[in-house]
Chain A
Amino acid sequence: MMHQGRRNILLIELIIVILFFSLSAVVTLQVFAKAHQRTAQSKLITQALIAAEDWAEQVCVSDDPAAYLGQNGWTSADGASFQHKAFDLIDLTIEIHPEAREAGTYYRMQIQASDTLNGDVLTDMPISRYVPAEEGV
């Protein structure tokens, strides 16, 4: 009888320990998942920044940014907003606003990189390019 009682106490003790352990495991796994998510996000931001910088540099030396983007695989429905994919998981968008000036054209542009999966903006930067009339198209 005394034996039975001690065994029951041991069993209850074990069940409590396992329950506590399970709770800790759930919390710990959530922390691991969050850490993994954060590092993936950090990698994505690095890639987005590199991709945006890469295209910003190319566009800012082009005399006709819209034509340059069209020749390099970017797609556009209206000729002002261009879309492209980088590193499989990043959507790049460049908005081009040409402004006619007395001696040429001033291109005011905005490049934005966003996460393909959820649409979150990862980086957003302005680009500008002034093309004197004799060089412009």
Chain B
Amino acid sequence: MLSDSAGRRDLLLMGASLALAAAGCDGPDEHGHPLPARARGQAAEAASFATVLDLEGLGRGVLARTRAGHAVKLEGNPQHPASLGATDLFAEAAVLSLYDPERSRRIRHAGAPCPAAELDAALAAVRPALLASQGRGLRLLTGPVASPTLARLIAELLAACPEARWHQHDPLADDAALAGALAAFGEPVAVLPDLARAQAVLCLGADPLGPGPAQARQARDWSRGRRAGRAAGRLPRLFVAEASPSLTGARADRRIPLHPAEAEEFARAVAAALGLPGLARGGTHPEAAGIAAALREAGPAGLVLAGRGQPPAVHALAQAINQALGAPGTALRLTAPPLARPEPMAASLAALTAAMAAGAVTHLLVLGANPVAEAPAALGFAAALRRVEFTLHAGPWLDETAERCRWHVPLPHPLEAWGDSRAFCGTPAIRQPVTRPLAEAARGEAELLGALLGTPLPAREAVAATWRAAWGEAGFEARWEAALEAGIAGDPAPAIAPALRPDWDRPGETGPAPAGLVAHFAPDPGLGTEARNAWLQEMPRPLTGLAWGNAALLDPLTAATLGLAPGDEAELTLDGRTVLAACWPLPGQAPGCVTLPLGGDRQAGGAVGSGRGFDANRLRSADGAWMAPGLRVRATGRRAALVSTGAPHRPDTGGAVPRLRPGETLPPVAPGASLHPAWAYEGRAWAMAIDLDACIGCNACALACQAENNVPVVGPEELARGRGMHWLRVDRYDAPAPEPAAASFQPVPCMHCEQAPCEPVCPVNATVHDQEGLNVMVHARCVGTRTCSNNCPYKVRRFNWNDHRPALDTPRRNPEVPLRPRGVMEKCTYCSHRITAARTQAGLEGRALRDGEVETACQRACPTQAITFGDLNAPGSAVAALRQDGRGYALLGHLGTRPRTTYLAPVVPAAPA
């Protein structure tokens, strides 16, 4: 009963493994071009490379672990400021895209594969004409560019062709932030919050803990701030006013569901309460006085962040308040933006589209962007594209834009290419290939630009040339090697101190809040550019529980008024544009505001990404506005194909997460009574402690676990049947009234109970206890009665309902973790293979294991270091200390299971602030 799509995907993945078996069984030594990168591992067999991956154009440092030349797993680079050793969803998932069997592998002309020589000939043919006309009619469209090399080459191209124009497009770009910075300072400025030092933070639609290029770093800082605050008895305060629930909002002390039309009024009310000088107009809001008092009390440690979708005036207000608080230097740092050329990207694309439609564009190069799918449909980019004579698209996939361009060139995956990048804070890093290219015909952007410039250089030489120019010839090689070794190539951008312009406050047009519903567009992790990644598609979104698609998010009251139950289909109409979408009531959503996640229903998204959810771009206005009034929602009476992993509202009926007030403690974790004799643990006793006060629900742990342990993707049909295979799930519990919006997240791996209920019920001894307290699953012994799952009160055991091995047996699989056959149980092992590896290493070195030497995959990924793993019996181990913490508790401890995984309860404010 395999579904069509599942079967098709399996076939594709199997095909890929065959192709790779033919091409890729050799190590990196036999690379097409040699790797100068120094391996971090002990041997080439198991090497690690420091490199960098981009998100929204900004880099996050990773260490890529390879096995026999194949990239297997990505982890954070502790030296990189955007990672500090942690990862995010996208970094974890990137390695799967490397092996995507649907990646573009051939250069194409008019849709048909053609030899590379034809492309070279075509580029050589257009070059003289373009140079002669000074590049008139030549346009270059890229994503946001922070790469110094790419910026240099583009600058060279523009210098050679002064009439040519460069445009950038990013569907998630926040143009209003740029406009706000220009209004406040007259120059583009990047705001880098320091959440470790901030004592009072107000987020106006900002989501510093949510998905983005700085998520791992900001989440780390935030958790450090909370840790220090708990120790000092004075927790930093976090206020969030937002339209749609976010990860930051979930962890806020006070969360205010705010209609988008009220955002400016709210910000003005806070500014007025603070007595901000230069304020053109005040405002009122009942919450403003309390928040302003907290900010004033915090002083320089106070911080206001305005987020994506806020009007420029709100961004300017936030900048002005921060200046008034004296926050720069304490709670935040202002720097020059990391992007090579900050610009309003919606306007940039609109200008390009207009020029194309007017016939002013003869040659268009689209490098690493997909505007046909990602720009608002109302812009008419696809139609304008037809008027361009020479179109070339370079991208990793044969996507919607590729299908409409004359030429298509496959881009290499970042893990197989040379390049460079800047982090959100401006820190540069060099990208190096960690594996031989899986698509031989792929060419990087730098190579294409070089070919167009007539200075064709291999990508490595192009990058080296950039840095040779920056560093000088003297000692270059040593510096280059050091940069590759460390994964960073310099320091963060220096702080700047721009002066606030006297006329910073330019109020937006005022008026009563528009009647009816407001459309609020939002990014959706897992869709959009990442839509082809099955790991991301299948990872339930933390706040909705939806996977393999998206839904229009409404507040429960509005949904009830419209007669929409969770999963009902509705017809959404905005300015005459119509789309059908599933609806999902979301507690905490601002009334009157419908959130429309971008990036669904891709037309050319491949077997994994096509047709998932609905495409909000069909509603979005041509100017790329993040919100639009006048949305009409009508129930169609049909049900939509929506895959959800739970109800919209999830109260904590089982007492899973006790919420402590500051200073409160829980009774110590004590072993409950048991009829079974207790085990003696003479040697090590592995245990895990998960700090729920630090957990932000980002799912990085769950995805890291999936990558590390060869956990299969089951597809939407199976997931909807309740057969997801994630070994680690992140439960969400909504706070009880009167704070219905804030939530607690609880990662639930195997508890490795000392009195494990699963063990005595297994008839064949397939799940047993080992001498170090691991609850071990012996796959080879399992006959599949599933009774262990029945008796697991935590429901962390997963059953192989189908045979997932064919889809998993690719070069991506972690060879240290076996694949499980059909009909057996599996579950979290505490990464026992990592324990074994560490023990072996310690044995080879003739020493004892050190505390913290064994890091589980989930622990390594966690941006907030919420997960601690170690030996309970080791004196002074971190996990043993956390067992003694006053916030510690065992989940369902009253059952007497004596779990080895324990939790630390979250701390909530004493009274609603």
Partners in one complex: no
Point out residues on B near A: beta carbons under 8 Å: none
